[in-house]
Amino acid sequence: MTFGRPTLQAALLAAALLSTGSLTTFAQADEVSSFVTNGTAIGGTDPVAYFTQGKPVQGSDEFTATYDDVTWKFSSSENRDLFIANPSKYAPQFGGFCAFGVSKGYKVPIVPEAWSIVEGKLYLNNSLSVQERFQSNSEELIDHARLNWEIVKDKRPEDITSAIIR
């Protein structure tokens, strides 16, 4: 573990990861632990489908639930009911922010197509190339992300100025 000021590489990584599409918005200040796109968690992608169908599936306005002050969409009533019965099983780790980004001390937006299930938990990433990097060393990166999450979870993404554990 390394503590202290970010390296130029970490700063460039954060800048690159933060420069994603314009439809991405962060939750309001009282919901800083949840990443929201298009007004819903995971941009409206059904979190249960990652587990049951092995891929991201767009949710429907017909099947929604509120968890952790965020609206979640589902592709079926069955998936919604599974989520309601055990949201911590299906909700992505680290508030839905990029697991790789959190491992570096940042809250970074995600794309629903970049995902992994590791030991029964859903981890989202910022891009398919970041997903590859995450999967190549997921155990260590998850450990770093868990430590960093305790520090950054209540901070707004734009208020995080340095990497904590790299």
| Neighbouring residues of 155: CB distance < 8 A, sequence distance ≥ 6 | 32, 107
pLDDT, position 166: 54
The position carrying tokens 């503590």 is 3
Return the SS3 of 143: helix
99 vs 93: CA distance, rounded Å: 7
**30 pLDDT tier (thresholds 50, 70, 90):** very low
Query: What is the tens place of the pLDDT at every residue in 39-62?
Result: 789 999 999 999 999 999 999 999
Q: Where are the alpha helices (DSSP H) in 19-137?
A: 47-52, 77-85, 87-90, 99-103, 128-136
Over residues 70-129, the pLDDT tens digits come to 999 999 999 999 999 999 999 999 999 999 999 999 999 999 999 999 999 999 999 999
**Closest C-alpha among 94, 43, 45, 95 to residue 67:** 95
pLDDT of 8 above 70: no
pLDDT given at position 137 = 96
- How far from the centroid of its chain's Cα atoms is residue 85's Cα? 21
Q: Is the per-residue pLDDT at 148 higher than 50?
A: yes
Task: Give the three-state DSSP class for 123.
Answer: strand
pTM of this prediction exceeds 0.85: no
